[in-house]
Amino acid sequence: MVNIGVLISGNGTNLQAIIDGIDKGIINGRIKVVISNRKDAYGLTRASKANIESIYLDPKECDAITYDRKILHELKKRDVDLVVLAGYLRILSKKFIEEYKNRIINIHPSLIPSFCGKGYYGDRVHSAVLEYGVKYTGATVHFVDEGTDTGPIILQEVVKIDDHDTVDTLKEKVLEVEHKLLVQAIELFCQNKLSIKGRLVRIRSEENEKSID
Ligand code: GRF
């Protein structure tokens, strides 16, 4: 059984999707802790309602390196194997990434490498998408490396943009896909079906099991 730690900063609908995925038996894992850098994150309430330990760590109390060290302590104390960034708005330190190399998953509301990187989060992603006039956007689940939204891509799915779409309607459409992809990616991780070679993530299946070392 994979122990999962979830980091949040806001509403926590992606966290809720993981909770529901576990309850439905889709994800063969358990959430050991939810940690937020924002006291008012509704995701903390979602965790409590699901009887999951939730912690608010105030980032103003220390510098970024110490803050990450505190989070790492809470994760290691609970033998967390997989860290999921579910709407978590802080950049992780190099040390954190190394501690959990290829065991940190992030969900981003666009088709990386478009509309991602520094400053691209939440509604700003969707307004940039609408402004540019692309015909498709989507969601991406990826492993986290030391860059911002630059790690090896696990799953992506497109969302068609209609002429009447607004930031709010687009956000809703993309969020639905985010929830689906995040649950799928976590389940694949829990089944040890994700293999990484450089930037390429491949999904092991019974047939090609032999072909991937
Ligand atoms: C989502 O769009 C997610 O892709 C982004 O943060 C937003 C908030 O998600 N990373 P949530 O409802 O707090 O899970």
* CA–centroid distance, residue 87 to ligand 1 (Å): 4
- The CA-to-CA distance between both ends of the chain, in Å, stands at 23
Domains delineated in the chain: 1-100 (3.40.50.170), 107-204 (3.40.50.170)
Q: How far apart are CA 123 and CA 129, in angstroms?
A: 10
Under the banding of pLDDT at 50, 70 and 90, the label for residue 96 is: very high
* CA–centroid distance, residue 105 to ligand 1 (Å): 13
Strand order in the sheet with 2-8: 54-56, 29-36, 2-8, 82-85, 104-108, 136-143, 153-160
Of all protein residues, the one whose alpha carbon is nearest to atom 7 of ligand 1 is 87
Distances (CA, A) of 201 to 36, 103, 147: 28, 13, 17
pTM of the model: 0.95
Q: Residue 24 pLDDT > 80, yes or no?
A: yes
Q: Is the CB of 87 under 6 A from ligand 1?
A: yes
Of all protein residues, the one whose alpha carbon is nearest to atom 12 of ligand 1 is 13
pLDDT in tens, 30-61: 999 999 999 999 999 999 999 999 999 999 99
Q: Is the CB of 34 under 6 A from ligand 1?
A: no
pLDDT in tens, 104-124: 999 999 999 999 999 999 999
Residues whose CB falls within 8 Å of the CB of residue 102, separated by 6 or more in sequence, listed in order = 143, 152, 196
* CA–centroid distance, residue 88 to ligand 1 (Å): 8
